[in-house]
Chain A
Amino acid sequence: MSALGIISNANLNGGQKLAVKYFTVSLALFGAQVLFGLLAGIQYLNPDFLFGILDFSVNRMVHINAMVVWLLFGFIGSVYWLLEDESGTPVVGLGLGNLNFWIFTLAVVVVVLVYLLIQVGPGELKSIWLINEGREYIEAPRWADIGIVVCVLIFFFNVAATFMKGRFTGIAGVLVLDLVALAGLYLAGMWYTPNISMDQHWWWWVIHLWVEATWEVLVGCLMAYGLIKTMGVRRKIVETWLYIEVALMFGSGILGLGHHYFWIGTPEYWLTIGGFFSALEPIPLVAMVVHAVFDAGYHKLKSSNTPALAWIIGQAFGNFFGAGVWGFMHTLPQINLYTHGTQWTASHGHLAFFGAYVTMILAFFYLAIQKWRGNVWMGSNLVGSWKWKWSMFLLWTGMIAMTMALLISGYEQSQIERAIGGSDWVAYFAAQEHPWFVQGMVWRMIGGWTFAAGFVLLAWDLMTIGKRETRPALVVDAESH
């Protein structure tokens, strides 16, 4: 092990060396998401900005695709991070995993360059195969879809084979099955149909079942590992709770798919199923507050990595407000008829993605950098801790500002465009021109700049945190003593 506070691969095991590569690309793509979000936000206020060069559709596509991919890279990195530790054996097929990383990254770069430089193609199947599929979130052209599945399968092989060779823990079991679902579900979005109802029906399989089921469970696994490592909670307890969470998430999440099937041509019984799950889904989320209070009281939140712990606490709040409060406000079909496809959705989407996923991956970034610098002290009174605190403050403030601004715009839009105007062309622009909407967009932009400042500080912090520390990390791992 090299000196404390110096970044060195000697501090990492094989899986972790690969993990930090994924984390690096992940952070860069996070930056791309923020950048293209800013461009798209500016276009709401100044439609001539980059018109004809980088149109809103392009910026918005890169904004959301960068998000999907950087979160995915963050998840993959996090799994490689814990893999050797959890299984007690070196990663099986690490060379292949490394090659996979480079191919995956190269493919992402090519896809983004095509998005930016070619943008659109003729109305033929070859455009869908080579340029972009034109389906929100899964715009990646078909060749890249196939590539993504292959890459995820190689990743799956690394994970499954390593656990088979070493310890096959409870976390491992959940993780392996979840990755099968992750790869399998993507196939549902990989075929063409002229029928838009059919298209969106299967499209939601990918989007919803990824985001509101498999990703949630993946985060549950990461959280479980994190609790054992950073807070020293005993494995048996953590794994029992992981199973409870899987039961709750899949139990409510799989058929919770129904709330996307209200208005796309799917039968009326989905109003009932979707309504049922929409009304009852938040109950477990709310009840988990009890668990959080219990754990906090029990373990007294002693942690060896304060920034990571702070982001994990943020995850609990962000998930609660983003998914719970913001979701429930507009998910019953009686009101969703008017909020569907407005800035309401954007408001909910921003807070929920940030709260549930971004926070978790940022926590892993901090865990990783700590180890990469030779398990340096990252407890309280860390040298230069203002950076992580300010970046966290700015990211949260920016996100809350964006969410609130979009909420107000969406509220106005649901009334003027949807309820009064009946969602036609004139009604749409009547709502877009309304002062509440315009001011909402201004405040969203202010939130966006704040968030961007937070990102810059975050990137700087991740490059420098622990650099001047000389104290070793606090040991809290229950399994190591």
Chain B
Amino acid sequence: MIVEPVALANFFTVFFSAAMVILTGAVYALLFAYSRLRQRARLMPLAYVAYLGLSVSVYTLAQAANLFNDTFWTFIVGLMLLGYFAAPHVVWHLCVATHDQESVDGHKPHDEGNPSFIRP
């Protein structure tokens, strides 16, 4: 049995928690990026609070959508948690590394590896 359909009583939970997965994911990414960009270390814990919210949403969704009843779907849940956690880090590093070229022409000076070029 690959898929166990959602019970009627869980419809709302599924819709709501699924939306919350994406929204908390975005808040996490937003706070993460903003904290790094403006070098506001104090914001970073908030980013991880958002990620915690995402984890709770993923867990709630997985419960309501019967994902834990099957190995494959449990594996997907794990991948989601990992993917949402890591992806903003990866994208950030890519942003910094790709924009490194900018400074070659003295276009916008900044310290080596320091992304705080917006407000030195």
Which A residues are closer than 8 A to B by beta carbons?
234, 236-237, 240-241, 244, 268, 271-272, 275-276, 279-280, 282-284, 286-291, 293-295, 297-298, 300, 320, 324-325, 328-330, 332-335, 337-338, 411, 414-415, 419-420
Which residues in chain B, 84-98, are within 8 Å of chain A measured between CB atoms? Answer: 84, 87-88, 90-92, 94-95, 98
Shortest beta-carbon distance from A252 to chain B in Å: 11
- Looking at A241, A288, A325, which has the most chain B CB atoms within 10 Å of its CB? A325
- Tell me whether A297 and B11 are in contact (CB under 8 A): no
A276 to B118, CA, bound (A): 39
User: Main SS of the interface on chain A?
Assistant: helix
User: Main SS of the interface on chain B?
Assistant: helix
Which A residues are in CB contact (< 8 Å) with B98? 237, 240-241
**Which residue of the partner chain, among A284, A324, A420, contacts B8 with CB atoms under 8 Å?**
A420
User: Does any Cβ of A come within 8 Å of B80's Cβ?
Assistant: yes
Given contacts A334-B4, A337-B5, 18 further A-B contacts (CB under 8 A): A236-B101, A237-B98, A272-B72, A283-B87, A287-B91, A288-B91, A290-B32, A294-B37, A294-B115, A295-B95, A328-B19, A329-B18, A330-B18, A333-B3, A334-B3, A334-B6, A338-B5, A338-B11
A288 to B26, CA, bound (A): 9
Which A residues are in CB contact (< 8 Å) with B102? 234, 237
- Tell me whether B84 and A286 are in contact (CB under 8 A): yes
CB nearest neighbor in B for A300? B118
| Given A236-B101, A297-B118, A330-B15, also A335-B22 (CB < 8 A) | no
- Tell me whether B3 and A320 are in contact (CB under 8 A): no
- Tell me whether A290 and B95 are in contact (CB under 8 A): yes
- Tell me whether B15 and A268 are in contact (CB under 8 A): no
A415 to B13, CA, bound (A): 13
- Tell me whether B79 and A298 are in contact (CB under 8 A): no
Shortest beta-carbon distance from B1 to chain A in Å: 10
- Tell me whether B29 and A287 are in contact (CB under 8 A): yes
- Tell me whether B84 and A291 are in contact (CB under 8 A): no
Which A residues are in CB contact (< 8 Å) with B65? 332, 334-335
Shortest beta-carbon distance from A341 to chain B in Å: 15
User: Does any Cβ of A come within 8 Å of B42's Cβ?
Assistant: no
- Tell me whether A419 and B101 are in contact (CB under 8 A): no
A-contact 0/1 string along B46-68, CB 8 Å cutoff: 00000000000000000001110
- Looking at A240, A279, A420, which has the most chain B CB atoms within 10 Å of its CB? A279
- Tell me whether A293 and B73 are in contact (CB under 8 A): no
**Which residue of the partner chain, among B2, B90, B115, contacts A271 with CB atoms under 8 Å?**
B2
CB nearest neighbor in B for A292? B33
A442 to B9, CA, bound (A): 27
